């Protein structure tokens, strides 16, 4: 058995773990990184990267007209090519070049500060758990006897599904629904509650209407209770008796934290229903151990893991106080139209602040660039408290890009006047953000009798 002592041990080579390992090593700490599967984690291999690559190819195929089965195969080839292009950035070789000692094995705690990986035991001053999450497979009767895909296998499909059944109407399910529909598959989405239930209902309805217009069947309030059939002939029966038939099945109902093999009890690390219990500094109940990203049981996005990495580096390397906050974290669903959110939704803001809240909006139909590009479906709305934005919802073309402005505003506690002071190039979709700010100030300027009296008085005295 080999024995290593190190400043920092990072368990997991996904987005968050790689960010911590690279940053800490380049700042002078000795770092050991454990990864028992694929460097780059879920995002590179099964999540963000392949899904956006497939959506891009689907968009191109949709623009050309009716796609062929060959187009689907070509799209999946593109997915793998994109992964291979990005993979060197996350590779063992690159991180060893940065001074990180990489051990390609899973880690398990054997004491509060020692982790075993393969034939090596690592004792560390600080340990970062960044093991991510995996697809949640629900206990539906019959599912175990029917072939199905998750996001970990759907991108290896070479042959286009004739009719794809998707259990789960969240972002992953709907992105894959549109991608497959645009590549020529029939698609049915089966959602136990409301599709996009975590998003603003008004914005979600715009997106769902567009998906249905493309021919995607979205069945809501449809709790799958029995699955039967064989490859190419699958049936899903829902609680109210409806039956949906298809040739292939994708399960996309959520994620579960990867903690089963860590032996957390030995390390004195407490867990919750959603993952590892952490405080605001991302420390676990074992004060030498941190947990970041999906495994910490909060928002499950790659950019959250990257943000957590920065918080942990400040604390673990420099001993400085650092706390993670999540009120400024944006997210997006990358369908067409896109749907993006940061901060509080309108419903959340009204519940928290009542009649003190102001909500302003601007429709894509009023944006000249959107008109020119036939992208007039959608809107942006911002929730404002005492002159400062506390949430923003955008549905429409490039919503994932537009939300960046409001994420910046929330992160820095900016005022609406600072957004209004921005000059956006004309004509751009980005002008929508400027116009939302204008919608906040317009009533104050153009409908105020006080303003009119002041302007009138000044005009009488001007030469």
330-446, CATH topology level:
Enolase-like; domain 1 (3.30.390)
E strands present in 193-246: 217-219, 224-230, 233-238, 243-246
Phi, psi of 170, deg, nearest 5 = -90, -170
Residue 166 contacts residue 176 (beta carbons within 8 Å): yes
Q: Whose CA is closest to 328, among 442, 443, 411, 405?
A: 411
Residue 340 sits at the vertex; the CA angle it makes with 302 and 132, to the nearest 5 degrees, is 20
48 three-class SS: helix
| Residues recorded for the chain | 463
Q: Quote the radius of gyration of the chain (alpha carbons, Å).
A: 25
Model pLDDT, residue 191: 98
Q: Class of the 143-254 domain?
A: alpha beta
Model pLDDT, residue 403: 98
The Cβ-side half-sphere exposure at 195, using a 13 Å CA radius, reads: 31
Close Cβ partners of 86 (under 8 Å, ≥ 6 residues apart): 40, 44, 49
State the span(s) of the chain assigned CATH 3.30.390.30: 330-446
Tell me the per-residue pLDDT of 298-323, one tens digit each, with 9 for 90 and over.
999 999 999 999 999 999 999 899 99
Model pLDDT, residue 77: 96
The Cβ-side half-sphere exposure at 144, using a 13 Å CA radius, reads: 2
pLDDT at 66 over 90: no
pTM reported for the whole predicted model: 0.94
Model pLDDT, residue 428: 98
Residue 133 contacts residue 42 (beta carbons within 8 Å): yes
Task: Please report which confidence band the pLDDT of residue 456 belongs to, taking 50, 70 and 90 as the band edges.
Answer: low
Tell me the per-residue pLDDT of 344-398, one tens digit each, with 9 for 90 and over.
999 999 999 999 999 999 999 999 999 999 999 999 999 999 999 999 999 999 9
C-alpha span between 207 and 186 (Å, rounded): 18
Strand partners, 177: none
Task: Please report which confidence band the pLDDT of residue 68 belongs to, taking 50, 70 and 90 as the band edges.
Answer: confident
According to the CATH classification, is domain 2-39+91-135+256-318 in 1.10.540.10? no
Residue 396 contacts residue 379 (beta carbons within 8 Å): yes
Where b means 16+ CB within 10 Å and e means fewer, 397-435 reads bbbbebbebbbebbbeebbbeebbeeeeeeeebbbbbbb
Q: How many CB atoms lie within 10 A of CB 314?
A: 16
State the span(s) of the chain assigned CATH 3.50.50.60: 2-39+91-135+256-318, 143-254
Average model confidence (pLDDT) across the chain? 95
C-alpha span between 395 and 405 (Å, rounded): 14
Q: How far from 153 is each of 45, 47, 148, CA to CA, in Å?
A: 10, 11, 9
Tell me the per-residue pLDDT of 166-193, one tens digit each, with 9 for 90 and over.
999 999 999 999 999 999 999 999 999 9
Task: Please report which confidence band the pLDDT of residue 455 belongs to, taking 50, 70 and 90 as the band edges.
Answer: low
What is the H or E stretch that residue 80 is in? helix 69-86
């Amino acid at each position: 058995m080999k024995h290593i002592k190190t400043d920092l041990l990072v368990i997991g080579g996904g987005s968050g773990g790689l960010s911590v390992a690279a940053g800490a090593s380049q700042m002078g700490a000795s770092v050991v990184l454990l990864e028992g599967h694929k460097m780059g984690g879920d995002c590179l291999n099964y999540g963000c990267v392949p899904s956006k690559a497939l959506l891009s190819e689907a968009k191109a195929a949709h623009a050309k007209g009716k796609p062929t089965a060959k187009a689907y195969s070509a799209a999946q080839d593109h997915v793998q090519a994109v992964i291979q292009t990005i993979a060197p950035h996350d590779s063992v070789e690159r991180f060893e070049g940065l001074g990180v000692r990489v051990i390609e094995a899973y880690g398990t705690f054997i004491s509060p500060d020692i982790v075993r990986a393969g034939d090596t035991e690592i004792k560390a001053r600080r340990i970062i758990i960044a093991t991510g999450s995996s697809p949640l497979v629900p206990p539906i009767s019959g599912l175990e006897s029917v072939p199905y895909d998750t996001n970990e296998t759907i991108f290896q499909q070479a042959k286009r599904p004739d009719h794809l059944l998707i259990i789960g109407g969240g972002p992953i399910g709907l992105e894959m629904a549109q991608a497959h529909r645009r590549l020529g598959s029939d698609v049915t989405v089966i959602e136990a509650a409301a599709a996009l239930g975590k998003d603003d209902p008004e914005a979600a309805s715009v997106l769902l209407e567009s998906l249905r217009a493309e021919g995607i069947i979205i069945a809501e309030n449809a709790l799958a209770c029995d699955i039967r059939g064989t490859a190419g002939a699958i049936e899903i029966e829902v609680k109210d008796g409806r039956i949906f038939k298809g040739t292939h099945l994708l399960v996309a109902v959520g994620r579960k934290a990867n903690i089963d093999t860590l032996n957390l009890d030995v390390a004195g690390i407490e867990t919750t229903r959603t993952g590892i219990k952490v405080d605001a500094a991302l420390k676990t109940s074992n004060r030498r151990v941190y947990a970041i990203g999906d495994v910490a049981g909060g928002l499950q996005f790659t950019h959250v893991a990257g943000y957590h990495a920065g918080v942990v580096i400040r604390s673990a390397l420099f001993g400085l106080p650092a706390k993670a906050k999540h009120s400024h974290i944006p997210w997006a669903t990358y369908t067409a139209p896109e749907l993006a959110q940061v901060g509080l939704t309108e419903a959340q803001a009204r519940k928290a602040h009542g009649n003190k809240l102001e909500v302003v909006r601007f429709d894509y139909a009023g944006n000249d660039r959107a008109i020119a590009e036939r992208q007039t479906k959608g809107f942006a709305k911002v929730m404002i408290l005492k002159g400062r934005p506390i949430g923003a919802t955008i549905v429409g073309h490039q919503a994932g890009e537009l939300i960046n402005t409001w994420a910046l505003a929330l992160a820095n506690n900016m005022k609406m006047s600072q957004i209004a002071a921005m000059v956006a190039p004309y004509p751009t979709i980005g002008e929508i953000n400027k116009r939302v700010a204008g919608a906040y100030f317009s009533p104050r300027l153009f409908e105020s009798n006080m303003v009119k009296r002041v302007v009138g008085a000044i005009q009488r005295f001007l030469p």
